[in-house]
Structure 1
Amino acid sequence: MSLPHTAYADALHATLADAGLAPITTAVRVTDTFIRLTRQTVHDLWIELAWESGHSLTWHHVQGWYLHRPGAAPSELDLPLLVDPVVLIAVVQAALDGTWSRCGMPDQPALWTDYRDVDQRIAAWEDRS
């Protein structure tokens, strides 16, 4: 069974690879958390992209985007959940160059062209869970 966010992870990896910024790993996963109070299990969708330098980007279907840099606290990225992968080229390049700054984030980044399909798949996944 394919996870609802696999196509987005594939697009992220391909776009970054085309820009010469291929991550050494691209992981697509689901974690399950049991909440005792409500006696329900919550299913979280994740994408993790990592580089040899120790930098990584983490995507969570509820919490959004985080940039992880060696020796620094994770930085929440103010980006749409299904941002156009092209937007991340500048973020990754700046992080790897050591020039990343929250001030360099785009004002209104574009959404990925296929975001509706993935968004619907995620919604169906959440309804089923």
Structure 2
Amino acid sequence: MREDYADLVQQARGAAETAYAPYSRFRVGAALLFADGAVVSGANVENASYGLSLCAETVAVAKALSEGRRCGLVAVAVASPDAETISPCGRCRQVLNELAAFDRADLLVIGAGRAETQEWRLSHLLPDAFGPDALG
């Protein structure tokens, strides 16, 4: 992992510690880095009605959008102390794509598990993504 993103990963790890995961016991944190240096984080939030649960990335993106952030997403770190490796699920890849599409960014995605940290570009994780342009 590049040293310039070490703090972003630490913020994602910190967010994972605040996760509400009483059912799966699988804690995940996400931290979004914007071009102005701002970081918006989130943690997964489970619900007894499993379909209502929210992933960490979704929480962070909703927070960013509700704060008025529409552009400048540079990177996202996703971390879990409960997994050897981790990457965003398909739903979260789509949610991240929606925010990245505001400036057509191919953001850096960092997955930090217990044993391994990996990096990808969103276009690698979600090739031929469905986005706002597909709506006409």
Quickly name the TM-score band, shorter chain normalised. 0.3 to 0.5
Name whichever structure is richer in strand by fraction: 1
Q: Which has the larger radius of gyration?
A: 1
